[in-house]
Chains A and B, each alone.
Chain A
Amino acid sequence: MILDYIRAVTLLAALPSPGDLVELPFMRTALIELTLLGVVGGLLGAWIVLRRLAFFAHAVGTATFPGLVVADATGFSATLAGLAVALGYAGGVERAGRATPADGGGDHGDVATALALVVALALGVVLASDVFESGAAVDRLLFGTALGLGGADLLVASGAAALALVATLLLGRAWTAVAFDGRGAGALGLPLRVADLLLLGLIAVAAVAALPAVGALLVASLFVVPAATARLLSRSVVGLLTISVGVAIAQGAVGLYVSLWLDVPPGPAVAVVGSSLYALVTLTRAALGGMTAPLPIAEAS
């Protein structure tokens, strides 16, 4: 009954029926993919937010762009190409100890990373438009696609989801302790380096899984934004994880619907939906709770 009502309303408003998400085969695939990615992004996103790895998550996705262009043009596996770049980037970042902008060493690592991303993007563009002349692929690789998702992508996303789940169960306590008090956790005997490597590596792998659906530029829409929203609403680490997954899945579904409605790729839609939700939550909290955080003029460090 309610479904009929919704259908009627959406028809009147010339919106697509939400049922299309499930009835149209390619949309069904996209929905399952985004749900799986929501699990991954929600779980890992919690650690990303707690460990201040938001920039890393965005960067590792962006860095894969040239690899994706090459793979796309030559028929090589995009997943493998993405993994090679992403894991290489993660390894380099870990060795340099520059995962977060707040790390010691300050701006030098920041700047190098930012320039490396510029190089990646510029290279990708040159490869796409002038070497391979596959210019049309650029939008798809940067912003994702709903139509082009297939069984292989679902498989990769399932694998990533399973990995994220297992890792959270096994490593969650250690990651929490390290995020809470790195030095104290080290004193407790936790292998800090291994824990960090695993986390960075996992984020890299998971980001690659998300690339086909949301694109290289918008990995953070699933890996940072839902967890940030959840952080505003949760009071414990377990709560953060749960809410984060829930928000990510919901965000993916609504984003997919918007992408169907406006006929745009899913990445931008998911990003806009997610960030809008975050804005709603934070502004509501401010209005209700009278938050008095001063507007941040750029900090010197």
Chain B
Amino acid sequence: METATAAAPALAVADLALSYDGSSPVLEGVSFSLPAGSSLCVLGPNGGGKTTLFRALTGELTPLRGRVDIDGRPAYLAQTERTRLDFPVSALDVALMGSLANGRWWLPARRSDRAAARGALARVGLEDRAEVRFGELSGGQRQRVLLARALVQDARVLLLDEPLAGIDPASRERIEALFRELRDEGRTLLVSTHDVDSARGFDRVVCLNQRQVAFGEPATALSRDALEQTYGDEIVVLDDEADGTFRAVTVQHHHH
């Protein structure tokens, strides 16, 4: 049960239903709201609707039903695709793309935008890699460059589609530290993931399996029942502590 907050939520979704063909929903019954400066873990199996939800939040997909209220234009870090690795752009070029959000995309980049891009790269720890080709960076570095782009865009809401998949542990930590910084600045992060364990570190969790199975703080949303409804028999639950907490491990194929 969410208590009403005095400030307007950064993101609010009400009774959202989404479909690709205009009639049969692939995701429905999604309702939640997030205050600014919070983080949401979007949990669910492949095909459960995580990416679909993100596409609706960016405006790419028009809802079948329901509404979306969002503060500003969200930044979107999609799952990395192979083709982008060949693209002849440097890390700085990518960060600079964030300035296209200021509306006048037909004009060349301003000096202030360039400075902002360099600053953003510095913030994510890549200022000495500014001229390196995007495809030549490591997975963790690429994610950080995309975060830099989001910073240049100055997005209040960030949508991250499995940002830590296939990233080495050292980069993971750096990225997770960045996430905490972004939240402290008042930005709202939505992170989709398979990894049930990591969900506990978030302010809120929403479980999706073609519908909203649960939403709330991790302690309540990650109940055994909710996890089983979300993952079906793809989940292995290991009773752990004497105090009744348990660990759950998802068993599924990761397609990266």
Contacts and interface: CB of A to CB of B under 8 A. Distances in A.
Q: A and B: partners?
A: yes
A170 B87 contact: no
Contacts, number: 81
Given A174-B100, A235-B133, A181 B58 contact: no
Interface of A is mostly: helix
Contacts of A239: 88
Nearest to A50: B87
A97 interface: no
A231 B77 CA distance: 26
A181 B88 contact: no
A235 B105 contact: no
A185 B153 CA distance: 11
Interface in B90-108: 90, 93-94, 97-98, 100-101, 103, 105-108
A173 interface: yes
Interface in B41-74: 55, 58-60, 73-74
A25 interface: no
Interface residues of B, number: 32
B26 interface: no
A180 B90 contact: no
B20 to A, nearest CB: 10
A187 B75 contact: yes
Interface string B144-160: 00100100010000010
A82 B55 CA distance: 38
A184 B101 CA distance: 11
B142 to A, nearest CB: 11
B197 to A, nearest CB: 28
Nearest to A188: B101
Given A185-B97, A187-B73, A188-B97, A180 B149 contact: no
A177 interface: yes
Given A50-B87, A186-B60, 15 more contacts: A173-B97, A176-B97, A181-B84, A183-B76, A184-B97, A184-B149, A186-B58, A186-B59, A187-B58, A187-B59, A189-B101, A189-B105, A234-B88, A236-B93, A239-B88
Interface of B: 55, 58-60, 73-78, 84, 87-90, 93-94, 97-98, 100-101, 103, 105-109, 133, 146, 149, 153, 159
